[in-house]
Amino acid sequence: MTMPITEQGSAALRDHLAAEFARTRARSVALTDAIDDGELVCQHSRIMSPLVWDFAHIGNQEELWLVREVGGRDPVRADIDELYDAFKHPRPNRPALPLLDPTETRRYLSEVRSKVLDVLDRTPLEGRRLVEHGFAFGMIVQHEQQHDETMLATHQLRTGPAALHAPPPRPQRSRNLPGEVLVPAGEFTMGTSTEPWALDNERPAYRASTGAYWLDTVPVTNGQYQRFLADGGYDDPRWWSEQGWTHRCEAGLVGPQFWYLDGGSWWRDRFGVAEPVPADEPVVHVCFFEAQAYAAWAGKRLPTEVEWEKAARFDPATGRSRRFPWGDEDPTPAHANLGQRHLQPAPAGSYLAGASPLGVHQLIGDVWEWTSSGFSGYPGFAPFPYREYSEVFFGGDYRMLRGGSFGTDAAACRGTFRNWDHPVRRQIFTGFRCARDAGPGELT
């Protein structure tokens, strides 16, 4: 959600949804038009789909939910449903499928979108939970934006010259922030029961509790992470969990993905550009095990998901939980690094207007942040509108990621939004910050 749609009339809500569809599709088109059709159909990594699969999958989900389910219309292309069912075909197998070619994909998406806009114009946005406050339409906007971020990650995995371009972030920043912020013990409201476009795993709101803890004011930076590397952190099993050390050895990890040493200095490949690793940016492209090992080396730990959300939303002055760290208003460029405006994190200490009431910075945007928690439903969880969005992923080895990245759109990011992935994943735009329990003498 990018505006308080519950306060808008039906016509304004439809206009807002149509604008979100157009804005989101412009991003999808830019990501696919940036390279030639030959690169769209090839697989740049076995852990990612060909870009043309993501693009057509966006249209197929839009057709399934909005043309057929909401609109009750005849299928546009029922014959391709199985090809673009993410549960039926693992990513490594997708290049061998008889996929729509880029020209067919663009034609298909255009036809689906034309029908969707007609459905939007004719469908009452009340009376059914699926369409109340435009939920189904907002769900599809979020779905497309999530795949846009996935496609952005695929661009990072490409070899060859840069295809995407954006200016570096240059926000106001503070260099005099404390290293940690004390978060007091007590209850707060986690999750939401009122956010119109919130997905099922964010619901319902409930009262959660934490002890007192310290949380890093900003995410761990490249400069801090390089000290871990220089101290032999990747060669010392003391800092790694047993599972993490096994993975580090089997995968041959020596540093964050896309980093390499050149002349004794760390460099990185960023969207086709080779550049020195900037010390003041949050570290990105580290897996859960790497984040966990750094935290242990630093004498700390990763925060739990509950601790992360409390720091991001709890206002001790009022006792309520906000939509975002800075308040209830939607993100602006002054609040956070979102929406692919830039192709890298902003320096630590940026976006002073985006700080939480407790003084924690950059909780939204820049880098997804690993937490120590697994993925499960909140008390009273009920799947909606289908089990495959969340419930089938509960349990397993997933670890929760919070806050969004520079590649996450505001429509798919809020203080309650939950992301999850396997602990070995590094191609996503992930970083972290550390936490530690507060001792008895530190509570005042």
CATH number for the domain spanning 109: value is 1.20.120.450
Contact 172, 350 (CB under 8 A): yes
Domain shared by 232 and 353, yes or no: yes
Give the E-state strand segments of 157-246 in sequence order.
Answer: 180-183, 186-190, 206-210, 213-216
In whole angstroms, what is the distance from residue 432 CA to residue 294 CA? 10
| Residue 212 included in any domain | yes
| Residue 401 · residue 430 · CB < 8 Å | yes
Same domain, 317 and 418: yes
Whether residue 149 is found in the same domain as residue 186: no
Domain that holds residue 242: 170-444
Number of domains in the chain: 2
Of the candidates 401, 392, 389, 394, which has an alpha carbon nearest to the alpha carbon of residue 430?
401
Cβ within 8 Å of residue 186, ≥6 positions away:
209, 210
Q: Is the distance from CB of 182 to CB of 366 less than 8 angstroms? A: no
* 98 & 182 share domain: no
Q: Is residue 112 part of a domain?
A: yes
Q: What is the Cβ-side half-sphere exposure of residue 418, based on CA atoms within 13 angstroms?
A: 29
pLDDT given at position 46: 95
CA distance 151 to 52: 10
Provide the pLDDT for residue 444.
61
Neighbours of 135 (CB within 10 A): 22
Residue with tokens 């994943």: 425
Give yes or no: residues 137 and 186 share one domain.
no
385 and 285 share a domain?
yes
Distances (CA, A) of 325 to 27, 117, 218, 343, 356: 26, 34, 13, 23, 4
Give the amino acid at 382: A
Do residues 127 and 206 share a domain? no
Q: Are residues 271 and 244 in the same domain?
A: yes
Asked if residue 163 is part of any domain, the answer here is no
Taking the C-alpha atoms of residue 3 and residue 39, their distance in angstroms, rounded to an integer, is 36
Are 210 and 186 in contact, with CB atoms under 8 Å apart?
yes
Query: Tokens in use for 239?
Result: 């800092």
Residue 164 lies in a domain: no
Residues 146 and 196 placed together within one structural domain of the fold: no
CATH code, 349: 3.90.1580.10
Q: Residue 442's pLDDT is what?
A: 79
CA–CA gap between residue 115 and residue 121 (Å, rounded) = 10
**Site of tokens 């007590």:** 186
Half-sphere exposure of 343 (CA within 13 A, CB side): 16
In a shared domain, residues 196 and 307: yes
Q: Is residue 165 part of a domain?
A: no
242-251 and 288-297 helices, crossing angle to 10° = 120
Which of 102, 129, 157 is the C-terminal boundary of a domain? 157
Final residue before a domain boundary, out of 157, 181, 208: 157
**Domain-ending residue, one of 135, 157, 179:** 157
Torsion of CA 339, 341, 344, 348, to 10 degrees: -80
For residue range 384-415, list pLDDT tens digits in order: 999 999 999 999 999 999 999 999 999 999 99
Angle at 403 between CA 425 and CA 171, to 5 degrees: 110
Q: In terms of domains, do 142 and 181 share one?
A: no
Q: Give the DSSP H or E segment for 25.
A: helix 10-33
pLDDT for position 5: 42
- Residues 6 or more apart whose CB falls under 8 angstroms from that of 336 comprise 351, 354, 362, 364, 365, 366, 404
- Indicate whether 415 belongs to any domain: yes
CA triple 119-122-124, angle to 5 deg: 105
Digit-by-digit pLDDT tens for the chain (444 residues) are 444 344 447 899 999 999 999 999 999 999 999 999 999 999 999 999 999 999 999 999 999 999 999 999 999 999 999 999 999 999 999 999 999 999 999 999 999 999 999 999 999 999 999 999 999 999 999 999 999 999 999 999 999 899 999 999 998 888 899 999 999 999 999 999 999 999 999 999 999 999 999 999 999 999 999 999 999 999 999 999 999 999 999 999 999 999 999 999 999 999 999 999 999 999 999 999 999 999 999 999 999 999 999 999 999 999 999 999 999 999 999 999 999 999 999 999 999 999 999 999 999 999 999 999 999 999 999 999 999 999 999 999 999 999 999 999 999 999 999 999 999 999 999 999 999 999 887 776
Closest CA to 105 of 151, 55, 141: 55
Residue 193 falls inside a structural domain: yes
Within a domain: residue 41?
Answer: yes
Q: Are residues 316 and 281 in the same domain?
A: yes
Helix (H), strand (E), coil (C) string for 93-146: HHHHCCCCCHHHHHHHHHHHHHHHHHHHHHCCCCCCCCCHHHHHHHHHHHHHHH
